[in-house]
Structure 1
Amino acid sequence: MVDRDMIAQLRQDITTAGDAGDEATVRRLRGELSEALRDGDDETGAAAIVTEADLRELLAVTSPDARLVMSQGRLGVHTGPGDGDGLLVITRADLVHRVGGQSDARGLAELAALLDTDIRLLGA
């Protein structure tokens, strides 16, 4: 079981390492946070928001306007220009740029953890 204090501490450590410019530590801690959030249960409310599967789903779409959007607490892939109001998580083009066109599990998991953390820091 993952407790809220551990998750809060990991988030604080990520912020501290980021402020210090220590990107290697930030990446490592984001991975730990992602793992902790995946292991979360209903009691902690810490289940991951963005997962590797969400990013794979976005990569599978060929529409140039495809994007991952969070609306009313749920993630979805939207493809139309006016389709889906909500918080833009990432566009397909940005995803392809960030993972270098490769969809290896580790790269997607790390990016999912980063996006998940960003969403949580926004309070969504």
Structure 2
Amino acid sequence: MVSRDIVAQLRQDITTAGDAGDQEAVQRLRRELAEAMDDTGAPGSGGHVTEATLRRLLGDDAPDARLVLSEGRVGIRSGPGDDDGGLLVISRADLIERVGDAPEARVLVEQAAVLDTDIGLLGA
């Protein structure tokens, strides 16, 4: 399990990299932060769609990457398969259609809220 100190350090590193204008490092660190938050079970992880989750989906290089809800957890899947009976939330291609390939954080936060609401309306 990842400690809260590591999550706090990753957030600080993201700020530092952003201030330095190193967008490649910012994207990498955001993916690491999302994974760390998933590992800690922090609020906004697991069964909820977050900005970080959508950023990870956008950063996935697989052409068939998609966000899937399975057993109460949101995860990114790629490759052939039936998603283990999970519910397709959104594909990477559809997300890019909605928000573009380099959206601002605010846009991803709004889209995450929409997708979370959609999941809730389905009763999942």
Q: Same-fold call, TM > 0.5?
A: yes
- Tell me which residue corresponds to 2:89: 89
Trace 1:1-124 onto structure 2 (pairs within 5 A).
49-82=48-81, 84-85=83-84, 86-124=86-124
Name the CA shift for 1:105/1:91 in 2 (closer, same or farther; >3 Å).
same
Q: TM-score, normalised by structure 1?
A: 0.59
In terms of mean alpha carbon deviation, does 88-97 or 76-85 score higher? 76-85
| 1:58-104 superposed Cα distances (whole Å, 9 cap, x missing partner) | 01101111000000000110011116230000000001111022221
Mapped to 2, the partners of 1:59 and 1:96 lie a distance apart of: 7
Paired residues, what number? 79
| 1:35-68 superposed Cα distances (whole Å, 9 cap, x missing partner) | xxxxxxx9xxxx9711101101101101111000
Unmatched tracts of structure 2, length 5 or more: 1-42
Give the counterpart letter for 1:121 in structure 2: L
Mapped to 2, the partners of 1:84 and 1:48 lie a distance apart of: 16
Secondary structure, aligned partner of 1:123: coil
Q: TM-score, normalised by structure 2?
A: 0.59
Give the counterpart letter for 1:97 in structure 2: E
Mapped to 1, the partners of 2:122 and 2:96 lie a distance apart of: 24
Structure 1 residue 112: deviation in Å? 0.3
Mapped to 2, the partners of 1:107 and 1:48 lie a distance apart of: 20
Name the CA shift for 1:105/1:117 in 2 (closer, same or farther; >3 Å).
same
Secondary structure, aligned partner of 1:63: coil
Give the counterpart letter for 1:55 in structure 2: L
Mapped to 2, the partners of 1:88 and 1:75 lie a distance apart of: 10
Higher relative contact order (CA 8 A, sep 6+): 1
Coordinate RMSD, CA, aligned: 1.9
Mapped to 2, the partners of 1:48 and 1:77 lie a distance apart of: 12
